[in-house]
Amino acid sequence: MPVHDRVQRHAAEKPDDAALNIDGETLNWRQLWQSSNALYQHLCQQSLAKGVVAIASANDITFPVAWLAASARPFTAAVIDPLMAQQPLGEILSRLKPDLLLLKRQDRQLIALADRLAIRWLALDGWQHAPPVADDRAFSADMQAATPFLIGFTSGTTSLPKAFIRSRRSWRCSLENGAQIFRLADAPSTLYPGPLSHGIGLYCLNETLYAGGCFYSTARWQPPAVLALLAQQQIERLVVVPTMIAGLAAAAQSDYPGLRSLLSAGAKLELNHYRLARALFPQAVMQEYYGASELGFVAVSTLDNDDISASLASVGRAFPATAITIRNDDGQTLPAGQPGTIWLTSEQIIDGYVWGDDGSAFEKRPWGATVGDIGYLDAQQRLHMTGRRGNMILSGGNNIYLCEIESLIKSLPGVIEAVVIALDDAYLGKKNGGGD
């Protein structure tokens, strides 16, 4: 994983400073480095033919230890949500066939499943207190290598998630550029109150470790507990998905002027979410980004409080070291203002799928890669999202993007969430239906 050298440096420069606080359990930088390196050395002594180490652990202090150990070269870490239903979880493990599964002893069903599938497992309990080991050179080697380090999972059109594989170099590039654009040097502490096994949480953990801040999280999503943590620990930066903002606002008894930065991801930030967040965090610089598991970061927007409608109309400009083009179905570049398929050139793009590539979503061409999202660039090179393939309908001869209607509905006072669907119509062909 491309943060080991940074964790090693932080452990040398500020060994007693807090690196992690997950549901009240803490590790300083020295403890994090020693325990994760000890687990790594233990893994190196095992017979792991493919080098694939799966992690199925909920949010607790052992997760970062397991992650650092399993993602160091020569291993590839497969991060699995342990709360997933048994049927897809079993199918993922059957297809993946990891050399080793890292879990907690309390996860009896998962242990039984691993035993049934003849998958070796190792309990993570206690590894956060592992004594130091002498050799740590290999643990932080080859941070820039174009070798695989992560197998992640993204939902597709079927119940079984697609499995993609990503290189160390791809994340190192995004970490280097993200530290600047997300102003991580100004955020000594970051809180993400969601699952670390999901892409947003996993990346947030790693960008915080990379920058040398203290990473906070909670065992489960409980808005009152999250707000109490913000106040008690005087956390400077909060990373959320938009629906979390509504939950925090509903539970809040006061505002939190100490928060300096708020980053929204995972879905488009709507006007009502912005208003709730601005009232709750009056001093925070607010940003949102658009990306995809297969592409990495695509665009970033720092919201302009004086012209918020214009800011929210787009998802921002291209992430550093990326290039966005809008193309038609023949691959020809389209002019500003004309919608088409969004294509990206970037070092963040995945190597490919382990399974689940149906050819209808992620594509690579000489001019870049796409996940089939539709949008356009305006004259200021800001990216506007209008939908995704399959999310546009033809109604009475007109192209209608359902997400644009959803966005309009969600801008109305009192509306937090809305869904628009396509209904068959004998006269128009298709028509819109929705609910909130």
Residues 114 and 230 both lie in one domain: yes
Q: Confidence band (pLDDT; 50, 70, 90) for 389?
A: low
Percentage above 90 pLDDT, the chain = 78
Count CB-CB contacts under 10 A for residue 291. Answer: 23
Does residue 366 belong to any structural domain of this protein?
no
Do 162 and 257 belong to one domain?
yes
CATH number at residue 424: 3.30.300.30
Give residue-wise pLDDT tens across range 102-128. Answer: 999 999 999 999 999 999 999 999 999
Is 404's pLDDT higher than 70?
no
- Give the domain range for residue 422: 392-435
Claim to verify: residue 305 and residue 410 sit in the same structural domain: no
Q: Are residues 131 and 267 both part of a single domain?
A: yes
b/e map 397-412, b = 16+ CB within 10 Å: eeebbbbbbbbebbee
- CATH number, domain with residue 132: 3.40.50.12780
**Is the pLDDT at 289 greater than 50, yes or no?**
yes
Residue 387: inside a domain, yes or no?
A: no
Neighbour tally for 196: CB within 10 Å:
24
The model's confidence at residue 187, banded by pLDDT at 50, 70 and 90, is: confident
| pTM, two decimal places | 0.89
Among 298, 319, 340, give the residue marking a domain's end. Answer: 319
Quick check: 235 and 229 in contact, CB under 8 A?
yes
Instruction: Kindly tell me if the per-residue pLDDT of 435 is higher than 70.
Output: no
**Rounded (5°) CA angle 430-435-436:** 150
Banded model confidence at residue 407, pLDDT cuts 50, 70, 90: low
Angle, CA of 162, 43 and 88, to the nearest 5°: 25
Same-domain pairing of 161 and 279: yes
Shared-domain flag, residues 396 and 315: no
Query: Cα separation of 171 and 362, whole Å?
Result: 18
Residue whose entry in the numeric block shows the structure tokens 């930088």: 29
Choosing from 285, 301, 319, the residue where a domain stops is: 319
Residue 328: inside a domain, yes or no? no
Instruction: Assess whether pLDDT exceeds 70 at residue 337.
Output: yes
Q: How far apart are CA 417 and CA 411, in angstroms?
A: 10
* 246 in the same domain as 129: yes
pLDDT band, residue 343 (cuts 50/70/90): very high
Q: Answer whether residue 421 is part of any domain.
A: yes
Residue predicted with more confidence, 390 or 184: 184
- Residues 1 and 270: their CA atoms lie apart, in Å, by 34
Ranking 169-178, 296-305, 391-400 by mean pLDDT, the lowest is 391-400
**369 pLDDT more than 80:** yes
Q: Averaged over 125-149, what is the pLDDT?
A: 82
Calculate Rg over the CA atoms of the chain.
22
Boundary of a domain, candidates 288, 319, 350: 319
pLDDT of residue 426 exceeding 80, the answer is no
Contacts of 154 (CB under 8 A, 6+ apart): 161, 162, 164, 199, 293, 294
Closest C-alpha to 145, from 5, 33, 12: 5
What DSSP string runs through 99-124? SEEEE-TT-HHHHHHHHHTT--EEE-
Report the percentage of the chain scoring pLDDT > 70: 89
Residues 37 and 177 in one domain: yes
Parallel, antiparallel, or unpaired: how do β-strands 419-425 and 429-435 relate?
A: antiparallel
Residues 268 and 405 in one domain: no
Could you tell me how far CA 60 lies from the centroid of its own chain? Answer: 18
User: Mapping DSSP to helix (H, G, I), strand (E, B) and coil, where does residue 83 land?
Assistant: coil
Count of domains observed in the chain: 2
Residue 397, pLDDT > 60, answer: no
Answer yes or no: is 352 within a domain. Answer: no
185 is written with which tokens?
A: 């040097």
Which phi and psi angles does 25 have, rounded to 5°? Answer: -90, 140
What does the buried/exposed string (b/e) look like for 45-62 if buried means 16 or more CB atoms within 10 Å of the residue's CB?
Answer: eeebeebbbbbbbbbbbb
Looking at the fold, whether 25 and 141 belong to one and the same domain comes out as yes
Q: Which residue type occupies 249?
A: A
Give me the mean pLDDT over the 258-263 stretch: 97
pLDDT-based confidence at residue 393 (cuts at 50, 70, 90): low
Mean pLDDT of the chain: 90
Residues 310 and 401 both lie in one domain: no
- Look at residue 427 and tell me whether its pLDDT is greater than 70: no
pLDDT tens string 228-245: 999 999 999 999 999 999
Q: Where does the pLDDT of residue 431 fall: very low under 50, low under 70, confident under 90, or very high at 90 and above? A: low
| 101 located within any domain | yes
State residue 367 phi and psi, 5-degree precision.
-95, 5
Residue 127 DSSP class: G
Q: What's the mean pLDDT in 239-255?
A: 96
pLDDT band at 157 (very low <50, low <70, confident <90, very high): very low
pLDDT digits (tens, 9 = 90+) for 300-326: 999 999 899 999 999 999 999 999 999
Half-sphere exposure of 409 (CA within 13 A, CB side): 15
In a domain, 376, yes or no: no
- What would the mean pLDDT of 61-77 be, rounded to a whole number? 97
How many angstroms separate the Cα of 175 from the Cα of each of 1, 92, 147, 180, 324? Answer: 11, 28, 16, 9, 19
Q: Is residue 346 part of a domain?
A: no
Least confident residue range of 50-59, 130-139, 206-215, 227-236: 130-139
Note whether 153 and 69 are same-domain residues: yes
